[in-house]
Amino acid sequence: MGNRGFWRELKRRHVYRVAAAYAVVGWLLIQISTQVFPFFHIPDWSVRLLVLLVLAGFPVAMVLAWAFDATPQGIVRTEPEGQPVLRRSNHGTLTIGILGVVIAAVIGAGYWWWHRQPSAAHPQALAAGSVSRAPAAGPGATTAVPDLSLPMTMAGPVAIEPKSIAVLPFENMSSDAGNKYFADGMQDMILTKLADIGDLKVISRTSTEKYQSHPDNLKTIGRQLAVANILEGSVQKAGDQVLINVQLIDARTDSHLWAQAYTRKLDNIFGVEGEVAQQIAQALHATLSQREQQKLAVKSTQNAQAYDAYLRGLAAGLNAQSTADQYRQAAGFFSDAVARDPGFALAWARLAEVDSRIYQLRYNRSTTLAADAKHAADTALKLAPDSGEAWLARAIYLYKVEADYQNAVAALTQAQQRLPNNGEVLAAFADVETRQGQWNAAIEHIDRASVTDPRNTRLLLLHSQIHAMRREFPDALAILRHALAIAPDDAALLACKASVLQAQGQLDQAQALLAPLPPAPGDPTVFKTQVMQWLYRHDYARAIRVLQDAMAQPQTSLGSDLGDYYYLLAFALQSSGDAAGAHAAYLTAQGKLEEMLKVSPDELGLTADLGLVFAGLGDKAQALALAEKAMKLEPAVLDATTGPAWQEQRARIEAQTGEKDRAIADLALLLQTPYASAFYGTAITSALLRQDPAWSSLHGDPRFAKLADGKTASHE
């Protein structure tokens, strides 16, 4: 067949028409996928896969068009020229083109299904070690291991949305290193403005603070944060002049999208963060509501000194590792800001938050501080009734100071409507909901917060602790594996994982995690996990020595955790057989706890600890009365996380004072109750009953043996 005959045959067999139809249908599929897939959070790679499938399907469609045609009688083989053929349908060309696309899609989908890796995002899948494996390739072959540090939720990996952005720490370009606070504060201010825009996904500062200002691996960082865009910046402050440089980069392609330099004097810098946010929104094609446009234009203060003090407070970057002095320093900066500008609503809101956290962390439990926190929260809301930050400050005050969870939820609802990207609001919801016993809602809110705060290990720690309170240990361990992939040396995460292992009776595995950690009495969660491990293994000498060292150091900000230390020291001496030493330690503990209760009479932890001390001294009536007081003041119906812990304290007293029937009844109920123990790091389990010497007086009772065997503990 000559060239002319070949091209004529292509035309006769409608190959040209099929090619044109295929191109139209393929183009439409690609256009639809690029618009629709992101809406349903379908990963970007699926669009690329579809493009490849359309290209791969083209030769398939051409072969089908050459060999077959669609007729009224169905699809038939095309006969060579000169032989009779059935009359073709007008729709045959389009049908074969579409058929080619469909076949290509089916082939590609089958290939993807065959080679796919099971999702490791759901904790149950992670707990089971669900990882796809390539066929064995002989000795030395390696298996594909998923990167557990990448963002994930209970539903699966976090999709990278086109309108997502992370703001990296700003570089301090000033000659004075002391101006770093100004760069940190400006980053936080711009981030806060961006987070007000509902059409954007904005990553929280806690997930970006450990990155460098201008890193080389933007694509990696984009994957680690699940964002498409990254904002870099630098700040140079000299005298009363400030130069701010910012640039927006597409993390997927490492291409620059927008850049701008802002030169301002300190007395005219107010509102620059709103300008930056406005231009970023335009560059990312984000839609702004009228309310959002108004909020971006708001200048929170026009007092240069108040603004400077506020930036210093923001730069404190308070987190779970912050000390009491750091919290007090931040509060001092915000107090200075509102003193210089009493109309500075945002500074009042921050002051209310910090004061409320100081109160909740027991760094200061005075009625004066509680009143100051309330005044700051009320003032912020009065000055800016439409401010999401003001509503959040009110919510934090309500649940951290007043324990008014119902009204806190109402305030958080108002805050969420105004702060659509704020992970702190979602985390606060989760905290309140656990105390209300709404466990599933709390887990859902924590999971959602992980989308905008994917590398916040404190958030992941809380997530795992909620599962541990419910004795959902595989889920807790899966989340901890994810968190430790991000921060492998984090002592709090390692201790939490050890406590979960302890709760399941896996003491050797827990020991492997705890052994490298130095005793840390300043971190009660870690320290008590270490002490309990020594008690479980009957290493009383080590527990006594470390507790005595802790008592010899000034620990002014531990509150009821310090009361736990005093009790545990006396109990360790008692368990070691040193009756005289134990009695002396119990007397010392009594004096210290009574002294602490004079300063903080509402500290239920101290009240319960004093009850345990009286039990050690043999005063059963006084011990039980104090336990009952703690249970009455904070029952489980008021606080589902800590309320049952007071019942556990009562059971300890009952076991030590010979009230076996009552102790076993309390333990049977506790084994079915989700809560946070004061000593275990999880809810009580059958394994902990077997390991903890606190329950040794109950050994030999068949009812206790049944509990310790796990026959009534459904979650273990």
- 599 pLDDT above the threshold of 60: yes
Percent of the chain predicted with pLDDT > 70: 81
Cα 189 from Cα 173, distance rounded (Å)? 18
Q: Report pLDDT for 152.
A: 79
Please calculate the CA angle 74-75-80 and round it to the nearest 5 degrees. Answer: 125
- 18 pLDDT above the threshold of 60: yes
For residues 502 and 533, the answer to whether their CB atoms sit within 8 Å is yes
For the whole model, what pTM was predicted? Answer: 0.77
Secondary structure of 550-566 as H, E, C letters: HHHCCCCCCCHHHHHHH
The answer to which of 161-170, 450-459, 558-567 has the lowest mean pLDDT is: 558-567
Q: Which two tokens stand for residue 43?
A: 């990963």
Based on the number of CB atoms within 10 Å of its own CB, is 509 exposed (0-12), middle (13-18) or buried (19 or more)?
middle
Secondary structure of 132-198 as H, E, C letters: CCCCCCCCCCCCCCCCCCCCEECCEECCCEEEEEEECCCEECCCCHHHHHHHHHHHHHHHHHHHCCC
- 350 pLDDT above the threshold of 70: yes
Average pLDDT rounded to a whole number, residues 284-312: 92
Q: Report pLDDT for 71.
A: 57
| Closest by Cα among 596, 538, 530 to 571 | 538
| Closest by Cα among 62, 84, 85 to 73 | 85
Per-residue pLDDT tens over the stretch 652-676: 999 999 999 999 999 999 999 999 9
- 716 pLDDT above the threshold of 50: no
Half-sphere exposure of 669 (CA within 13 A, CB side): 13
Residues 6+ apart with CB under 8 A from 6: none
Per-residue pLDDT tens over the stretch 494-542: 999 999 999 999 999 999 999 999 998 888 889 999 999 999 999 999 9
Residue 409: pLDDT band (50, 70, 90) is very high
The answer to which of 35-49, 180-194, 323-337 has the lowest mean pLDDT is: 35-49
H/E stretch holding 241 reads: strand 241-250
Pairing of strands 161-167, 156-157: unpaired
Average pLDDT rounded to a whole number, residues 89-116: 49
Arithmetic mean of pLDDT over the chain: 85
Cα 479 from Cα 511, distance rounded (Å)? 20
Per-residue pLDDT tens over the stretch 194-225: 988 999 999 999 899 889 998 988 999 999 99
Residues 6+ apart with CB under 8 A from 341: 301, 302, 303, 306, 347
For residues 563 and 596, the answer to whether their CB atoms sit within 8 Å is yes
* DSSP letter (8 states) at residue 601: T
